[in-house]
Every structure is written in C-alpha cells, then in structure tokens.
C-alpha cells in the first residue's frame, strides 16, 4: 500500500513565533538604548565643560607666565641698554688711554734732558703765578714782546691750502712758541674751524710733557684738515670750551688771510665772549702770527691785509701781541 506524502508548510506557526520574538527583542534593545542616551549626553557635556575649564585655567597660567617673561625681558633690555652705554663710555676712555699710551711711547730725544735744564727755561712759573693774578705786560715776562705768563696754551691754526704751501715755516714758528713755554699745565691745538689735531682729546686739555710736544711736532708734518681761513670760529670755540676762572690761558692764532665777512662783527663777537673784568683784563690772552700771502711788487693781497688788520686790533684789545712775518723772515 502506497504511503501518502505529508505536505510541509514553509510559514508554519512555529516559524512566525520565532520571527516575532526576534523583532520584539530588537525593539526592546532600541527602547533600552534610548532610555540611557540622555545620561550619556549629559556625561559628555560635563566632560566637555571640565575640559574647557581646565583649558581656560591653563590659558590664564600661560598669560601670567607671559606677563612675567615680558617684565623680565623689559628688565633685560634696560640692563642691555645700560650696558651698551657703559661699554661706549669705557670705549671712549680706552681710546683716550690708548692715545696717551701712544704719546708716551713715542721715541723722544727730549727724554734725555736733565730736569734742571727745563727748570732753567725762559718761562717763570712761580708760586705767586698759581694765585692767578690778572694778565699784565711786564717786560721781564715777555719773549720777543709776547707775554709768556700763561699756564695753558691753545693754538688756532689756519690749515687752508695757502698755509699748507708754507707749512714748514708754520712748524718752525709753532716750535718757537712752544720753546718759549718750557712747561705748562695744558696744551691744545685746533684749526680755525675748531677741528682738533688730536681728536681723542677733543674738548679737554692735553697734559704737557716732552712726549706730547714731540707728538705735536710729528703730527704737524701730516696734519691736513679743511679750513675756510676764518679764525673767528676757532677763537670763539676755544674761549667757550676752555675758559675757566682758575686758568690763565693764551690763544695763539696762526694764519695768512681772512676770508670772513665784516671784521667789526668778528671783533664784537670776540668782545662778547672774552669779556673784561672790573680791572679791564680779559678772560684769555689772544696772540697772533701773520704769515705773508701773495707778496708782489704791489704789496700783500687784500685778504692778507684784512687778516693783519683784524688780528692787530683783536690782539690789542685782548692783552696779546700780533707778529707779522715777511718773506725775508724765512
């Protein structure tokens, strides 16, 4: 007897139950996850707030440290500026010391002179002179008609081209004037525009010594500086810079012509600077040596005559002497 086959149903009740249970489980999981989601979000927000607060604190700390660093940097910059200024001052002092060292270490035959010979020189520096009495033209205090009772000597020398052409003669006369003052307390040399021969000593007196005098003679042989042949600038600058009530000063002007304007205006300018005291004595003596310029059969040039006329009056007003040289004086 043949068996009847049993039909199999694909979507039986058992299968549908399983499917429904699976869907229910998924829905349950979704519901449970939605329940805890606000808690997670709140926790996340709290963490972010804490992170922001911590970052703000770190930012405040960094700003505070930056302020401290900036203050320290400001102090360092100030100290650096002060250090640079001190270094500049020390460099100037070093240059001055080096200049003195160079002067001292120059070969000088005068070092072999006996001190007694210097004491027997023509200038008389007595104890009474240290009291700085007024300038007087005592006959025994003069050499060649020029008073030599000053303790500080300043030269204002025309260094223009016309003077350079007779520079050996200028060196000779400078040496003669220095020899008339065997020992002084201070020396200084500038041209008629106020430019110093020894620029490291600008504005100060150079202490006299045989080495210094030798250095002056050496430097004179090579000294070439711009000059406009107007001694009024150098004289005025010398008085303004170097005059002091406790010093007896003589200014020596070397030149051959005057290229300035009015001679009367120059005289008024010097009168205002080199004022008289109650005894009629000036602050400094002013001497001058006039070198000839352009001598021909018709006589000296007009600019040379102007220089001679100006310096003759200026020296007379300021307690000094004007010496006019000629070609025959060579």
Per-residue model confidence (pLDDT) at position 60: 85
Q: Are residues 100 and 185 in the same domain?
A: no
Looking at the domain assignment, is residue 238 inside a domain?
yes
Looking at the domain assignment, is residue 9 inside a domain?
no
Q: In whole angstroms, what is the distance from residue 210 CA to residue 183 CA? A: 9
Q: Does the model's pTM come out above 0.85?
A: no
Q: Residues of the chain whose pLDDT is less than 50? A: 1, 106-144, 330
Q: Are residues 180 and 206 in the same domain?
A: yes
Per-residue model confidence (pLDDT) at position 302: 81
**Beta carbons of 235 and 320 less than 8 angstroms apart:** no
Q: In whole angstroms, what is the distance from residue 298 CA to residue 296 CA? A: 5
Per-residue model confidence (pLDDT) at position 88: 77
Per-residue model confidence (pLDDT) at position 206: 95
Q: Which two tokens stand for residue 192?
A: 């008629």
Per-residue model confidence (pLDDT) at position 114: 45
- 10 Å CB burial of residue 317 (0-12, 13-18, 19+) is middle
Condensed to tens digits (0 to 9), the pLDDT of residues 238-275 reads 999 999 999 999 999 999 889 888 889 999 999 999 99
Q: Which two tokens stand for residue 46?
A: 């709290």
Q: Are residues 89 and 160 in the same domain?
A: no
Looking at the domain assignment, is residue 132 inside a domain?
no
| Strands, sheet with 284-290, edge to edge from the N-terminal-most edge strand | 186-191, 152-157, 249-255, 284-290, 322-324
Looking at the domain assignment, is residue 11 inside a domain?
no
Rg (CA), the chain: 48
CA dist list (Å): 149 to 157, 238, 285: 21, 19, 10
**Beta carbons of 322 and 311 less than 8 angstroms apart:** yes
Per-residue model confidence (pLDDT) at position 136: 40
Q: In whole angstroms, what is the distance from residue 281 CA to residue 279 CA? A: 6
**Could you tell me the residue range of the domain that residue 230 belongs to?**
115-124+137-329
Q: Are residues 308 and 254 in the same domain?
A: yes
Tell me the pLDDT of the chain averaged across its residues.
78
Q: Are residues 165 and 87 in the same domain?
A: no
Q: Are residues 181 and 271 in the same domain?
A: yes
Per-residue model confidence (pLDDT) at position 269: 93
Per-residue model confidence (pLDDT) at position 197: 94
Looking at the domain assignment, is residue 171 inside a domain?
yes
Looking at the domain assignment, is residue 3 inside a domain?
no
The total number of structural domains in the chain stands at 2
Q: Which two tokens stand for residue 81?
A: 């500026």
Per-residue model confidence (pLDDT) at position 90: 81
Looking at the domain assignment, is residue 28 inside a domain?
yes
Q: Are residues 41 and 165 in the same domain?
A: no
Contact residues for 67 (Cβ-Cβ < 8 A; gap 6+): none
Per-residue model confidence (pLDDT) at position 290: 92
Per-residue model confidence (pLDDT) at position 150: 87
Per-residue model confidence (pLDDT) at position 299: 62
Per-residue model confidence (pLDDT) at position 112: 42
Q: Are residues 68 and 189 in the same domain?
A: no
Q: Are residues 244 and 301 in the same domain?
A: yes
Condensed to tens digits (0 to 9), the pLDDT of residues 145-192 reads 566 778 999 999 999 988 988 899 999 999 999 998 989 999 999 999
Q: Are residues 305 and 194 in the same domain?
A: yes
Q: Are residues 290 and 238 in the same domain?
A: yes
């Amino acid at each position: 007897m043949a068996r009847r086959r049993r039909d199999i149903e694909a979507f039986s009740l058992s299968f549908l139950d399983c499917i429904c249970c699976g869907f229910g489980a998924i829905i349950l999981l979704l519901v449970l996850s939605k329940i805890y989601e606000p808690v997670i979000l709140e926790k996340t927000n709290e963490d972010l707030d804490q992170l922001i607060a911590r970052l703000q604190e770190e930012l405040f700390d960094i700003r505070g440290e930056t302020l401290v660093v900036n203050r320290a940097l400001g102090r360092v910059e100030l100290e650096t500026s002060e250090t640079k200024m001190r270094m500049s001052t020390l460099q100037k002092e070093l240059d001055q010391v080096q200049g003195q060292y160079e002067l001292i270490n120059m070969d000088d035959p005068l070092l072999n002179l006996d001190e007694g010979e210097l004491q027997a020189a023509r200038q008389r520096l007595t104890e009474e002179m240290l009291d700085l009495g007024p300038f007087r033209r005592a006959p025994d205090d003069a050499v060649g008609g020029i008073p030599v009772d000053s303790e500080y000597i300043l030269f204002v020398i025309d260094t223009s081209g016309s003077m350079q052409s007779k520079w050996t003669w200028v060196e000779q006369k400078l040496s003669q004037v220095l020899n008339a003052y065997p020992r002084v307390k201070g020396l200084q040399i500038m041209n008629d525009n106020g430019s110093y021969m020894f620029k490291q000593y600008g504005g100060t007196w150079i202490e006299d010594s045989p080495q210094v005098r030798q250095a002056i003679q050496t430097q004179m042989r090579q000294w070439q500086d711009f000059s406009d042949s107007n001694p009024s600038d150098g004289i005025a600058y010398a008085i303004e810079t170097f005059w002091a009530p406790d010093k007896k000063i003589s200014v020596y002007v070397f030149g051959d012509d005057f290229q300035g304007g009015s001679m009367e205006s120059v005289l008024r300018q010097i009168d205002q600077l080199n004022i008289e005291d109650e005894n009629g004595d000036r602050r400094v003596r002013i001497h001058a040596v006039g070198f000839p310029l352009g001598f021909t059969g018709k006589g000296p040039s007009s600019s040379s005559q102007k220089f001679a006329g100006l310096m003759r009056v200026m020296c007379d007003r300021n307690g000094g002497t004007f010496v006019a040289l000629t070609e025959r004086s060579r």
